[in-house]
């Protein structure tokens, strides 16, 4: 459970729930079996990327060069020799195969659209920790991943593509990317020394700290704008209940973007903002 980072699986649960919410909104029904299988498959794939990330960070010496927190620096199971590297890698591949198998079932019944989404997911998951994050594309990958989960979940339920599913997916993906963005601050020196290029490294810590409000303002602007185009609902304004968490994250990060003591509260507030806003957005689409 520790190696899988079970607490962070909630991001994928919220993404699937958002896809189901849009499906219920647009079609008035949800297939419970397809919904359950989607949760299982997406959770397997999420567990895979976390396990493989732990393995490759250990192999590259990143985890040994950073200070672990509840939100960053890996799980610690490999540096502490609780698990063997080969076991973590094998488990990561097994979860990838299991998740892809669930996806393959939906490919068989829903066709090429799910095949494209699944193909992107499998390739991106396997190469995330070895190639994608080295190119400064980690946040973009997470944003696209979140959008794909929402869109794929919707398509499994309805067998059609809809602008609302794509739009809500973009919002959910952006919220997840915001968490990854802030959680990269404590690993700045370790990542840079080992050749990894996160967005924080590309911008520098001070500029990156000033960029956080952009992520949050854009997400909320999309929610509000979506109301006028029928892509979100008036009820979706309830997601603004997470604004205090966002304000705290911005304040803490600007005050101290370098030390662990300053960053942990900022990371915690960002996680709360993303999860609360995302969950409330999904709930709002059902009513």
Q: What is the pLDDT of residues 7-58, one digit of tens each?
A: 889 999 999 999 999 999 999 999 999 999 999 999 999 999 999 988 988 8
Per-residue pLDDT at 66: 77
- Burial per residue of 72-107, b for 16 or more beta-carbon CB atoms within 10 angstroms, e otherwise: bbbbebbbeeebeeeebbebbeebbebbbebbeebb
Average pLDDT over residues 60-77: 77
- DSSP assigned state of 247: H
Extract the tokens encoding 205.
């810590």
The reply to whether 1 falls in a domain is no
Nearest to 231 by CA among 138, 116, 153, 150: 150
Residue 145 is assigned to a structural domain of this protein: yes
- The secondary structure of 74-133 as a DSSP string is --STTTTTSS-HHHHHHHHHHHHHHHHHHHHHHHHHH-HHHHHHHHHHHHHHHHIIIIIG
Q: What is the pLDDT of residue 21?
A: 98
Mean pLDDT, residues 154-178 taken together: 96
* 204 phi and psi angles, rounded to 5 deg: 90, 150
Q: Is residue 234 part of a domain?
A: yes
Q: What is the maximum alpha-carbon separation in the chain? A: 54
Determine the structural domain holding residue 168 and report its residue range.
6-284
Q: What angle do CA 175, 180, 185 make, to 5 degrees?
A: 130
Mean pLDDT value across the chain: 92
Residue 1 binned pLDDT confidence (cut-offs 50, 70, 90): confident
Residue-level pLDDT at 157: 96
Q: What is the pLDDT of residues 99-146, one digit of tens each?
A: 999 999 999 999 999 999 999 889 888 888 777 777 777 888 889 989
Number of domains into which the chain is organized: 1
Least confident of 66-70, 84-88, 151-155, 275-279: 66-70
Using only the alpha carbons of the chain, give its radius of gyration: 18
Triad 75, 9, 207: Cα angle to 5°: 70
Average pLDDT, integer, range 154-158: 96
Dihedral, 89, 93, 94, 95 alpha carbons, nearest 10 = 100
Decide if 47 is inside a domain.
Answer: yes
Measured over the CA atoms of residue 165, residue 168, residue 170 and residue 173, the dihedral's sign is negative
Residue at 172 is within a domain: yes
Within-domain flag for 210: yes
Least trusted range by pLDDT, from 96-105, 139-148, 162-171, 235-244:
139-148
Q: What are 185's two structure tokens? A: 């601050």
């Amino acid at each position: 459970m520790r190696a899988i980072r079970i607490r962070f699986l909630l991001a994928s649960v919220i993404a699937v729930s958002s896809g189901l919410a849009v499906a219920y909104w647009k079609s008035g029904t949800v297939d419970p079996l397809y919904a359950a299988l989607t949760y299982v498959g997406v959770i397997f794939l999420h567990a895979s990327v976390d396990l493989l990330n732990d393995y490759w960070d250990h192999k590259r010496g990143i985890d040994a060069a950073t200070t672990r927190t509840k939100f960053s620096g890996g799980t610690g199971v490999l540096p502490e020799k609780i698990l063997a590297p080969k076991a973590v890698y094998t488990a990561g591949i097994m979860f990838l195969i299991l998740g892809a198998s669930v996806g393959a079932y939906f490919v068989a019944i829903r066709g090429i659209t799910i095949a494209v989404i699944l193909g992107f997911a499998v390739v991106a998951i396997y190469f995330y920790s070895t190639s994608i994050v080295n190119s400064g594309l980690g946040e973009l990958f997470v944003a696209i991943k979140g959008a794909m989960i929402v869109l794929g979940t919707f398509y499994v339920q309805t067998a059609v593509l809809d602008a609302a599913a794509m739009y809500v997916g973009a919002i959910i993906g952006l919220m997840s990317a915001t968490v990854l963005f802030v959680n990269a601050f404590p690993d700045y020196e370790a990542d840079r020394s080992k050749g990894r290029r996160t967005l924080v490294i590309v911008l520098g810590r001070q500029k990156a700290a000033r960029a956080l409000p952009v992520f949050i303002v854009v997400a909320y602007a999309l929610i509000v704008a979506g109301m006028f185009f029928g892509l979100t609902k008036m009820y979706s304004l309830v997601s603004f209940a997470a604004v205090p968490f966002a304000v705290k994250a911005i304040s803490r990060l600007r005050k101290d973007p370098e030390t662990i003591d300053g960053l942990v509260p900022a990371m915690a507030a960002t996680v709360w903002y993303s999860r609360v806003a995302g969950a409330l957005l999904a709930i709002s689409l059902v009513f």
